[in-house]
Every structure is written in structure tokens, then in C-alpha cells.
Structure 1
Amino acid sequence: MTKKTAIARIETGVRNLDALFGGGLPKGSIVVIAGPPGAGKTILTQQICFHNASARTRVLYFSTLSEPTAKTLRYLNQFDFFDAGKIDGGIQFVDLGAILRTKGLDGAFRLVMDHVKKVKPSMVVIDSFKVFDDLAKSKEELRKFGYELAINLMAWETTTFFLGEFGQSDIETNPLFSIVDGLIMINQRQESGEQRRVIQIVKMRGTDHSREEHSFAITRAGIDVFAPRFTIHRAAVEGKEPRLKTGISRLDELLGDGIPRGSTLLIAGVAGTGKTVLSLEFIYRGAKAGEKGIFFSFEESEARLRATARGLGWDLDAEIERGMVEIVFIPQPDILVEGHLLMISERILGMKARRVVVDSVSVFLHKVRDPQVDREKVFQLASVIHNAQAVGFLATDIPYGTNQISRFGVEETVVDGVILLSSTEEGLERQRYIEIYKLRNTAHLRGRHSVLIGPGGLIVYPRYNAEAAFGEPPPPLDTARRLPSGVPGLDGLLGGGLLERSVTLLSGSAGIGKSTLSMQFLLEGCRREEPGLYLALEEGPAQLIRTAEALGLPLQEAIEKGLAEVIYLSRERVRPSQFLSLLTDKIRTQKTRRFVLDSVSHLAAEGIAEDELRQLLYALITRFKALGVTTVLTLESSAMYSSETVTDRRFSPVADNLVVLRYTPMPGEIRPTLMVVKTRGSEHDFGAYHFIVGKGGARIGRRADLGAPLAAKNIERRRRTKK
């Protein structure tokens, strides 16, 4: 069997054009380059000629437009591909205009062939071939002229270009197109508010070429073909590198094991939710950790982004100076989607960036009206990032008043993850939230989480902890390890004290002594060198210290020794959804062993939904148990006397121990009464006991006889009925 010989190819010197031909232009082909005036036919051909012209590869460039060579060269001099040293020695310009006017097609044919025989060129150009249509007396004469010229040039093994202002009707009727090997159509048209130049290889014998239209631009370098659809492909890259940690405050807690390398995330939200700040911090934190990042901005200039960073306390200028960060600003009117796609790819690979931001993709694609094209371009962006094994953040604006999670409604189907930023009006303020809507191949925390923007950047407050979502549950309570409550007489009722790491709920009527019992619990730990934290939601530290002094409780002394801390959190300063993160940091820093939250009722009064509050408490308790903390929660009951309802909002399941404090009516007075309703993992006293609050705090007194109080209540009820 005879081995087949591959067709030799010629490099065009035009970016991406060789790829569209499937490896270059077939050598010896006769190619028509057609298009309207000003489309770029001449520049394309001259670029190919200058790229190939040399002493061994001669080029003959015939002009039928009677344009002086000096004018042609002056025009060519503005392009980078022009090389004056190649004139005459490599490329020779010949004017056919004069001989066409005097001797017609036959004279032009003889002149062309005389120069071909003399120069022996590798390439021949006739610009413009359309002139022959006007001079030919019939289609038969034109066909004969074209056929003879083609056969003779083929005999000399030249690669030939015929340029002309041919349209679709010419292709269908002109006999030239049945002779030539290739046809390249160049056009320009108004599209989505801008002039768009396109090139299409309609025909090219001997090649498996692209048949689609591809955008191009005419720049100082010459013709620049973009063709991202043909040149950007998603490569098969094995993800062996560790996952990326953003370095942004607690955002990594939401992202589980981190973002897989090669992933693209959509950063979606309405205006003002923090997309640019999040994206900029993503780049900045990466640079500080030794990862190069590039920020493509279509909205904010580099100067404004630098100023934003300085306002947040980041030294982004230093990272730019040392080459860790690049900011590329493209003003919105200058956007050329396919051209800038190619630029983005080259800049990422050139910098070897590991973090990429496009802010925003909705502005980048704002002129595109076809959702399928939007989807395709986002996929190409994602492919560029994937191939570089970087991680990309693509910001997108969500239209107001819709349920969309992207501007065009298709981006989320292409990317690997979506981070939703939102804001809601709560009271007189607008509060920000963040949600990991999706992240492929990653177990992430779900739901909305509070976020603040301030000095230092984004502060994320996960509303529940990663351990609860992904890790093992905290170990069971050890019934052999008991902690004294600090309240005389209470430990006996509890079966020996509070279990270590347990949660106790004090449900009490207003003013009955819940805070006092909580302080005694905390101070007992301080006496045993167990650091304690008291979180007050109603009274400030000064008021609590004054109350403790009046009762003779050494709270101030414990604070001065560093064994106790009292903090007050108001709604103006912090929201309940931020408690988990704030308190976790405090507990870890101070190695807290005992914690008091006074009171849960204040959280309920802030308008939090019952299920949301219960989930928050469960998250707090789970985290505290995992950290080895024993906790007391106070809850105010709306019932002053009745103990039939332990808690008003069904919080009982979150607690290991339930202690109910109620008033008992007695003849001429009411007395505080305490009952242990539940202790997990141990027996307890089910009786009701009076207790007294005085110097030294609260102490348990004698067992209450509820028969007399109940009779007194019945007498009082009958007396009121008679009235």
C-alpha cells in the first residue's frame, strides 16, 4: 500500500487563523478572499504575505486599483507586520491598472505570467480580482480568463489569493468560484450596538476547516482572529492539588474542605450587596498567602479599586508592586467579548494566576441578547480558568424583584458553584447575608449566614458550625463528672450537681432570681479556677456588677482576676445570627469552662422566628459542648404562678436540665419556688422547694407544701367571683 502524503501547509502569521484551517493554509491553493470594501481583505492578505516573504519565498502582489506603491507602503507602515527590508527582495508590488485600461484581460494575463516566470514566486496576489468582472465582455470570457490564470499559476505551484468585493450573489453566479480551491468571506455588520468584524472559511479543499463565523479585530498587529469557540477547549486536568482556602474571615467555614482547583464560582447579588469587595478580598488574601491573582474589571477603574482596598485597611498597592496582583480595567464601551475572552486567557496564563476575578460578567456580556451565547461565553470563561487550574469568581448582578440567581438566567448551569449575596430591610437597617447556593463535589454549610463589611473586609458569621454539619457529634455526657452549681441546696436536687458539658435551662417568672442563680453558677467556677463568660442581653456589665455587690457576690473580684468576663450585646451592635462566631472566638481565646446566656427571651423578643431561634440555640449548644463548656440559659416565663408550661416556646428539647422557677401564692404573700423538672442521665428530686435570695445569693429552703397555696388560690378566686 502506498503511503499517503500530507498536504504541505503555510503559516499565515494571523493569530488563530491556522487553527481554523486545521493546521495552516494548504500550499499551492487558489483562494478567493471576498467581502465588502473596508472589511479587511487587503490587510489580511498583506499580513500573510509579509509573514512568509523572504529571499527564498518570493511574493508578487498585483494591484488593479492603480494605487501608487508609495501610498500602499505608507499605509502598511502603521502595522507591526510590515517590514521595509522585505520590499523587492521578498515582496514585489506590481500595478495592473494601466495595462487593464489599454489592453484588457489578455494584456493583464500576459503581464502577470511574465512576472511569474521572471520572479518564480511562492505566492501571488491579485487585488482586486472583481475588476475583471467589470472588464469581461461575457461570463464565458471571464470563465476562460479565470481558468487559464488558475491553471498557469497552479503549474508554477504558487499559492494564490484573489481579492474582491464579492457578495452572496457572486458566489452563486460567478464561474470563478467553481475553479478556486478556497473561499474566505470577510464581513462587518452592526450587532448589539457595535461594529463586529467576522471571518468565515466557506470552502478550503484538503482541510477539515472550521465552517463557523469568527470575530476578529484590526489592530496595530494586523488582523487578530479571536475564535474562542474553536480555540478554547476544556482540557482534562486531574485535580491533585489541595483545595483552595479563600482566607476570608469564616467564609472557609462555610466552604467545607475548600474550593476544588479549576472551579469557577458565580458571585451573585443585587447592587450594593458586596460582590466587588468579596472578589477583591479574594484576590488580596490570596496574594498574602503567596498565590498570584488577576482582577478583570469592567466597571471600576484600577485607581478606584486601589482606593477601596486602602479604605478597608488592605495594602493592595504593595501586592501589586511585588507582582502578586494585577488589575486589568476595560471600560464598558470598549468591550469586545470574543477579543477580551482571548485576552483574559492570555493574561491568566502569562501571569500564572491561581485566582481570577471577572467583575462583572453581566457587564462583560451586556450587549449579548441570546441566552445560548451567554451560556457559551460563560462556559469559555470557566474553561480558561479550569485549564489554568485556578479558581475564578465571576460577579453578576441579579435584577431587582426577581427570583433569579444570575443576570441572564443561564450562568448558574455552567459554573461549579454559586455564592449568593443578599440584603434585607430589618427594622431601620439593611442587613447583609451570604449563602453558598451550590458548590460541586463539596460538602458546604447551607442556608443564609450574616455578613458585615467594615475595616478589614468581610466578616462572615456562620449561623451554625461546621462540626455540627459534617463532623461527629460531641461525646456523650459523663454522668460521673459533676460540677457544683454554687447555689446551696440545689446540687442535691440535681442528683449531685450539674453534669460537665451539660446545658441547663432556667425558666423563671420576672424578677424571681434567674440572673442571681446564673451568677452563682459562674462564680463557683471562678472559685475553682474555671474561667467563665456571662453574656447579658438585657442589663449592662455595670448594672450586673452593682447587683452582685448588693448581694455580696464577688463578681468584680473575679473579673479583675481575669477569671470572669461580662459582655453585653445589643441589637444595635450585633445580631443573634452572629453569636455563634463571636462566642466561639471568646470561648477559645479565654478557655472558658462555664457560660451563661441571660436571657434567651430577649432573642425571642427581637422578632426571630421560633424555628430559627431554636436552630440558633441548638447550634450554640452543640458548639459549646464540643468545646467542653457547661452552659446555663435563662428564659423568662409569661406565667407567674403556673408550672404546667415549662417554657413558652418549646425550648425544652435543647436542654439537658430543666429548672422551673415560679411564684407560689401564700396567705398575704408570694414565695419563690424551684422545681427540677428534668436532668439528663441521672435521678433528681421532683419536689417543689422554696428558695430565698439575699446576702450571699440564692439558697434552697424547705420543701413547699402546695396544698395550702392551692386552697388559698381557690378562696381568692371565689372571693373575686362574688364581687
Structure 2
Amino acid sequence: MSSDVRPLRRVPSGVKGLDDILHGGFFGGGLYIVEGPPGVGKTILGNQICFNQAAAGSKVLYITLIAETVGRMLLNIRDLKFYDEGAVGNGIFYVSGFNALKKDGLSGLLHLLRREVAARKATTLVVDGFASASDHAKSREDLKLFVQQLQTQADASDCTVFLLTNPSEQKPSSEETMVDGIINLTTTVHEWRSARELCVRKFRGSSYLQGVHSYDITEDGVTVYPRLETLVSQTSDINGELKRVLSGNPSLDQMLGGGLPARSSTMVIGPSGTGKTTLGLQFLGQSSAQEPGLLFGFYETPERIRTKAKGTCPALLKQLDAGHVQILWQAPTDQFLDEIADRMLRDIKKRKVKRLLIDGLGGFKKALRSRPIEPFFSALVHELRAQGVTSICTAEVMEIVGPTMTVPLQGLSDVTDNHILLRFIETGASLFRLLSILKVRDCAFDSDLREVHFAAGGLELAENSASAKSILLSASSEPGAELTQEKR
């Protein structure tokens, strides 16, 4: 039995991140609802899709059913980068359907849509303010018939239709059960911060990235950041001989059994001032044209990093000047986790980065809001491993000295491959630094403690554990030490 049904044709939105969520974009001739309360960016998103389609050579029709005039709406979007004055009246045609709807109801609006789509030869139609059409429906059956006729018209003319509307109080409403896809836009408030979130609730004809994704509205228009957990590569670890990556500290490499395992993730934990960042800078100092490096930090600006490198890691300064290492500084402001990861991963893929230092995992904590960190960080580590990146992450603990430490960002210890601990030991009037390796996944390592000193080339470790033992014995013999042990 033959069939004359044409195959589905993808229509990319051109909106960064949205087509990734939809696995390529919308379908030609489909009918889609974009819903959300006032202020979430429905009109901006609708116009952005239209201008992107016009730039690709398509004819676009934008019908407004809201009281706001077309001129006023264009004034509100003209400063956005996607806006093209030359496309208005050429590739994009704006028509108000407010009077037709008010005068003749849904039948008048449907007649206007059919006439304008045919006259403009439009392949994309946006109806902004579709809630007004629902309000003018005499009954639910009347509205259902209108949507059905609009869907038939869209399919017959191969015109992709977007209905921009406020969420229906009754769910699912009749129009929602009939359309090909529903995209929900919301704004949620977490403590004193707000977040824009996008969710695809329905999408016929294709799989898509489910769940909630972050989006932002800037001068570029709408930018969507797919949740990292849904984007991780399917590439598995490369099997075979275990390769080692030099850390930049020969003594540490010896303790590690030859260096850090390639593609591994290492968490360096310790209080402020113990040398976590310096250890990471030494690691990046081993970068080269064949192994480009990236420093992604939240707290120290590129200028401060360069100043620090002059005094503690001249090898890194050389790589910075050669362009083999780049610095991406992310101010710890109201950013999204996925936006932060997107910025970092784009640079890694563009420059084929093989060495990465994430200086300050606490910066991710500020972007958590109510989202758990474990799935995100697990996906990030997996993606870094798939890209062939060996990474070091620094994490600060609150305790400066003392017998106990609180692990920062609970749940991450199982995700990372290697753990290095830096800590202070106080004896008399002196403060000493000690380093110990807590974990190297699937590899033997030296677990003895080493005393740490700052030197011109970075951190220097004692050749053996003798000085560390002496420091610990001295600390345990301090007056009051026995009492402290009894209390513990």
C-alpha cells in the first residue's frame, strides 16, 4: 500500500540551545504553543525565531492579538542583535489581528490568517496573544474547531505556526491536546534570586531533552542552556595502557606513581592559604601547543593570576605569553550552572584543551539555587573525560587548623578520581603546611604526609615524611594536646 505522506522537515529556530533541546528544531507544518506568564520573553522568542527564519530566506508572518501596537513592539526589540530593520516589510510582515478578532470572532481571525499566509507565501506564522482568541471563543468546542482548522491550514501550506499565550488554568486544555508541541517558559524565585526556566512539555515526531533547562535574555535575545546532565557525550573512556600526565611538581608525581592518570579529575582540598591554587598553576605550567591549558576561576582575576605566576610559577607565565594557556574568569554572580559549564566547555572544544584548572568549586555553589550539585558535576567530569581533559579542581574548607575538616560540596568525592589534601598544623608559635594524597582511583600511591614550602617555582615537598612526622609529634606534645584527644 503506497503512501503520499511527505517526510517531516526540520525547521531550526536559530535560537542558541533550543535546537539542541529539540534535537534539530521544530517540524515544518507543525503547530506549537509557547506559553508562560507575562514577562518571561515569549514575544522576544517569537520575534527571534522570525528574524532567524527571514535571514535564512523564508517569508514570515507575525500576527498580534494584543492591544500593544506593532510599532510599539518593534521599538521594544529594535536594540536586540537579531533585529534587522531591512527585514521588516520584506522577509517579515507584521499584521494586527486585534480588530478582526474583536469584530468577527474566531472565524474572522481564521479568515485573516488564511488570507495573509497565502498572500505573503509565509512558511512561518507567529500568533502573539493567543489567549485573546481563547477569550473570544463561544465554547471549548468552538476553540477546538478553530485550532483544528488552523492545524489543517498549517499542514496544507507547510507553514510552521507558533501560538504565544499565557498558561491555561485548565490543564490539559483542548488546544494543548491537539497541537504538535508545547514549550513552557517560567520565572522562579530562589531566596533573593530569580531564574528563567524552559521546559518542553510535548513534542510530536521526535525525542527531545526532557526536564527543566535554564535560559537568559540579553542583547542577543533568548539564549537557552540545556541541562548539562542531558548533553554528556556517549564516548566512553579509552581502554588500554594507563597514561600519566605530569603535575609540574616532581615530588608529587613520585608520590602519585608517575603523575596524574590521564583524563582523570583531581580535587585539591584545603583551607585558604595552603597552596591549592599554586599547585594548580604548576600543573598548568606544563601545558604546551600539544597540550593546551585552561584556567577557569571565580575569585582571582586574570591580572591577579599573572601577578601570582610571576612570583610562584614562571613556567605558567611563559605558557600564558605563548598563548598555550588561557584564563576564563567568571565573576561569582547570578549565573546558571549550565551557562557556566557551557562557557567552559565551548573553550575546551574550540582550543582542544587537555589541561584544566577549575580554581574554586565554591563558585558553582553560588549558582546552585535549589539544584543538587552531584548530577551536574558528575556530568561535567564525564564530559571532560570524554574530551580527553585532565583536570584539577580546588575546594576550600572552612577549618584553618584543627583535627577535623568539613568536606565542601557533599557528594563530589565519589565523582572525582583523585583527592589531595593540604592542611595547616600549628605547633607552638609556628604554622606548618602538610600535603597528603587521600585517593588515586585504581592506582597505587604514596600515602605518607609531606611537609610543604613555598618557593620561587611554586610548592616544594619534602623528600620524605620525616619532617612531617616531627611536626605531628611536636603538635601532639603541646600542652593541652592530651586533653584535646580525650575530648575527641
Q: TM-score, normalised by structure 2?
A: 0.87
1: CA distance between counterparts of 2:52 and 2:267?
42
2:215 maps to which residue? 451
1:217 maps to which residue? none
Q: Which amino acid aligns with 1:509?
A: P
2: CA distance between counterparts of 1:656 and 1:359?
51
Contact 1:477-1:499 within 8 A present in 2 as well: no
2:188 maps to which residue? 424
Are 1:435 and 2:207 counterparts?
no
Query: Aligned-pair distance for 1:454?
Result: 2.2
Residues 430 and 604 of structure 1: CA distance in aligned 2, closer, same or farther (over 3 Å): closer
2: CA distance between counterparts of 1:653 and 1:352?
57
Contact 1:672-1:692 within 8 A present in 2 as well: yes
Query: Aligned-pair distance for 1:237?
Result: 7.2
Q: Which amino acid aligns with 1:497?
A: G
1:62 maps to which residue? none
Contact 2:131-2:166 within 8 A present in 1 as well: yes
Query: Aligned-pair distance for 1:508?
Result: 1.5
1:286 maps to which residue? 53
Are 1:357 and 2:122 counterparts?
no
Q: What is the SS of the residue equivalent to 1:654?
A: coil
1:652 pairs, out of 388, 400, 413, with 413
1:692 maps to which residue? 453
Q: Which amino acid aligns with 1:392?
A: V
Query: Aligned-pair distance for 1:713?
Result: 6.9
State which drifts further: 442-451 or 635-644. 635-644
Are 1:663 and 2:424 counterparts?
yes
Are 1:306 and 2:96 counterparts?
no
Pairing 1:201-600 to 2, within 5 Å after superposition: 238-299=5-66, 300-322=68-90, 324-331=91-98, 333-334=102-103, 336-368=105-137, 370-398=139-167, 409-426=173-190, 430-464=194-228, 467-468=231-232, 472-476=234-238, 479-526=241-288, 529-572=290-333, 574-600=335-361
1:104 maps to which residue? none
Contact 1:501-1:631 within 8 A present in 2 as well: yes
* Cα shift readout 1:245-269 (whole Å, capped 9, x = no counterpart): 1111121111124323332221111
Query: Aligned-pair distance for 1:389?
Result: 2.9
Residues 239 and 522 of structure 1: CA distance in aligned 2, closer, same or farther (over 3 Å): farther
2:374 maps to which residue? 614
Q: What is the SS of the residue equivalent to 1:290?
A: coil
Residues 650 and 643 of structure 1: CA distance in aligned 2, closer, same or farther (over 3 Å): farther
Q: Which amino acid aligns with 2:175?
A: E
The gaps in structure 1 that reach 5 residues or longer are 1-235
Query: Aligned-pair distance for 1:641?
Result: 4.3
* Cα shift readout 1:627-652 (whole Å, capped 9, x = no counterpart): 32221111112344447765551211
Query: Aligned-pair distance for 1:405?
Result: 7.0
2: CA distance between counterparts of 1:682 and 1:450?
39
Query: Aligned-pair distance for 1:509?
Result: 2.2
Residues 582 and 250 of structure 1: CA distance in aligned 2, closer, same or farther (over 3 Å): same
State, as a whole percentage, how many aligned pairs show the same letter.
25
1:126 maps to which residue? none
Query: How many residue pairs end up in the alignment?
Result: 477
Contact 2:365-2:409 within 8 A present in 1 as well: no
2: CA distance between counterparts of 1:667 and 1:477?
51
2:391 maps to which residue? 631
Contact 1:509-1:638 within 8 A present in 2 as well: yes
Residues 641 and 566 of structure 1: CA distance in aligned 2, closer, same or farther (over 3 Å): farther
Query: Aligned-pair distance for 1:680?
Result: 2.6
2: CA distance between counterparts of 1:291 and 1:626?
38
Residues 604 and 289 of structure 1: CA distance in aligned 2, closer, same or farther (over 3 Å): same
Q: Which amino acid aligns with 1:282?
A: I
* Cα shift readout 1:453-476 (whole Å, capped 9, x = no counterpart): 2223212222316542xx524334
Query: Aligned-pair distance for 1:312?
Result: 0.9
Query: Aligned-pair distance for 1:282?
Result: 0.9
Structure number with the bigger relative contact order (C-alpha 8 A, sep ≥ 6) is 2
Q: What is the SS of the residue equivalent to 2:381?
A: helix
Contact 2:185-2:196 within 8 A present in 1 as well: yes
Residues 604 and 466 of structure 1: CA distance in aligned 2, closer, same or farther (over 3 Å): closer
Q: TM-score, normalised by structure 1?
A: 0.61
Pairing 1:5-154 to 2, within 5 Å after superposition: none
Q: What is the SS of the residue equivalent to 2:363?
A: helix
1:682 maps to which residue? 443
2: CA distance between counterparts of 1:688 and 1:521?
20
Q: What is the SS of the residue equivalent to 1:558?
A: helix
Residues 714 and 686 of structure 1: CA distance in aligned 2, closer, same or farther (over 3 Å): farther
Q: Please tell me the root mean square deviation across aligned C-alpha atoms, in Å.
A: 3.0
Bigger radius of gyration: 1
1: CA distance between counterparts of 2:229 and 2:251?
36
Residues 335 and 570 of structure 1: CA distance in aligned 2, closer, same or farther (over 3 Å): farther
Contact 2:264-2:390 within 8 A present in 1 as well: yes
Query: Aligned-pair distance for 1:543?
Result: 2.1
Contact 2:281-2:313 within 8 A present in 1 as well: no
Residues 576 and 315 of structure 1: CA distance in aligned 2, closer, same or farther (over 3 Å): closer
Contact 1:642-1:662 within 8 A present in 2 as well: no
Residues 489 and 254 of structure 1: CA distance in aligned 2, closer, same or farther (over 3 Å): same
Residues 385 and 259 of structure 1: CA distance in aligned 2, closer, same or farther (over 3 Å): same
